[in-house]
Homo-oligomer: A and B are copies of this chain.
């Protein structure tokens, strides 16, 4: 980020920002004008709320999830009281991990996974254990083998959960099918007796609403009998405005009570102003209208990036094209490193383009080497007009480097 600020010529395909030109400036201004139009309405907006969050926002969130997951509107499967509002979904990941894990515990993660989450684990002395992914998403065989091996080694009692970024996965862009979620939950359940406690699925759905192609997949909340083991973390930041940090979790007891207590200790509740802006945007249709524009925008940007890849990338490089979210996952030939200290990274910076080295997204797991020949390339933050040039710069570097190796 520092580099981006100091080199205005640089095209950043690194940051997972939302499109700067598509932030709801006018919409937010109008909503705040209305919220604060008179003291009677304005005061509750500027006063403390309650720790679990604004009641209308919790209700709207539950209704929205029920709709997305195809549950009936009167469905008891998702009670607004299970919804806890947070300062972005990041805080929900943090608090859930804090509530569930002790130092030296184990969290299963996709290999690769969201690198900031690895930082959370590391800062608490929690071990991350990677489960392989391929083009189809989480490798269930590898999950099964990993669990079996943890059981044999006597470490299964330390396993507290499986963390997955289930929609347009950060960094690979993959979406996890409902069948995989169901199978993963069944597998986890099978080791609970050995573990001596529940093993949860933490479903990070941060990118869910950013789909621009294909059909939404139900979340693990929709799986019958799974509700007691699923923590769902969602956000309104990326689909609406990253400057208004509002996320949420759906949690089963006793986790709900534990995480609400932690939320009380963190900040006893997310900014009421931010929450009421989102509640108003959701109830008045502003959120959905904005999301539609955003989806069309990301479809365009993703298509522009794909076309630029096809034009500029040497044939030895391949990539996974997403149906939503912000990221392409790019793989160089095995011998060609793309890490922070690699020649490729340095030459890319020199050529004026930034990406996220894939190696940062792998847990420190001594049981396998960390792949170094991958990169996360984002079309989210860059200007549409800059994407072809950014990819062209990267393509030139890679063409040169592939030729050399």
Expressed in whole angstroms, the minimum distance between the Cβ of A356 and any Cβ of chain B is 15
Interface residues in A, total, Cβ within 8 A:
54
Q: Across the interface, do B36 and A26 meet the contact criterion of CB distance under 8 Å?
A: yes
A71: interface (CB < 8 Å): no
Q: Across the interface, do A116 and B43 meet the contact criterion of CB distance under 8 Å?
A: no
Q: Across the interface, do B244 and A46 meet the contact criterion of CB distance under 8 Å?
A: yes
- Bound Cα distance A88, B32 (Å): 21
A245 is contacted by which of B21, B50, B261, B271 (Cβ under 8 Å)? B271
A17: chain B residues within 8 A (beta carbon): 47-48
A265 is contacted by which of B43, B49, B50, B123 (Cβ under 8 Å)? B123
Q: Across the interface, do A244 and B266 meet the contact criterion of CB distance under 8 Å?
A: no
- Bound Cα distance A39, B26 (Å): 8
Q: Is the interface of A mostly helix, strand, loop or mixed?
A: helix
Q: Across the interface, do A21 and B48 meet the contact criterion of CB distance under 8 Å?
A: no
A18: chain B residues within 8 A (beta carbon): 47
Q: Across the interface, do A120 and B245 meet the contact criterion of CB distance under 8 Å?
A: no
Q: Across the interface, do A28 and B46 meet the contact criterion of CB distance under 8 Å?
A: yes
What is the chain B residue whose CB lies nearest that of A25? B42
A319: interface (CB < 8 Å): no
Expressed in whole angstroms, the minimum distance between the Cβ of A49 and any Cβ of chain B is 7
A24: interface (CB < 8 Å): yes
What is the chain B residue whose CB lies nearest that of A31? B32
A12: interface (CB < 8 Å): no
A90: chain B residues within 8 A (beta carbon): 265-268
What is the chain B residue whose CB lies nearest that of A261? B123
Expressed in whole angstroms, the minimum distance between the Cβ of A12 and any Cβ of chain B is 12
What is the chain B residue whose CB lies nearest that of A29? B36
Question: Can you list 29 pairs linking A and B with CB atoms under 8 Å apart?
Answer: A1-B50, A20-B43, A20-B47, A23-B39, A23-B43, A23-B46, A25-B45, A28-B32, A28-B42, A29-B32, A29-B42, A32-B36, A45-B243, A47-B242, A47-B243, A48-B242, A87-B266, A87-B267, A87-B270, A90-B266, A94-B266, A116-B264, A116-B265, A119-B264, A119-B265, A123-B261, A245-B267, A245-B270, A273-B273
Q: Which 3 A-B pairs have the closest CB atoms?
A: A25-B42, A243-B272, A29-B36
Q: Across the interface, do A24 and B50 meet the contact criterion of CB distance under 8 Å?
A: no
Q: Across the interface, do A244 and B262 meet the contact criterion of CB distance under 8 Å?
A: no
A37: interface (CB < 8 Å): yes
Q: Across the interface, do A94 and B265 meet the contact criterion of CB distance under 8 Å?
A: yes
Q: Across the interface, do A25 and B36 meet the contact criterion of CB distance under 8 Å?
A: yes
- Bound Cα distance A87, B244 (Å): 12
Expressed in whole angstroms, the minimum distance between the Cβ of A55 and any Cβ of chain B is 10
A33: interface (CB < 8 Å): yes
Q: Across the interface, do B265 and A266 meet the contact criterion of CB distance under 8 Å?
A: no
A96: interface (CB < 8 Å): no
A256: chain B residues within 8 A (beta carbon): none
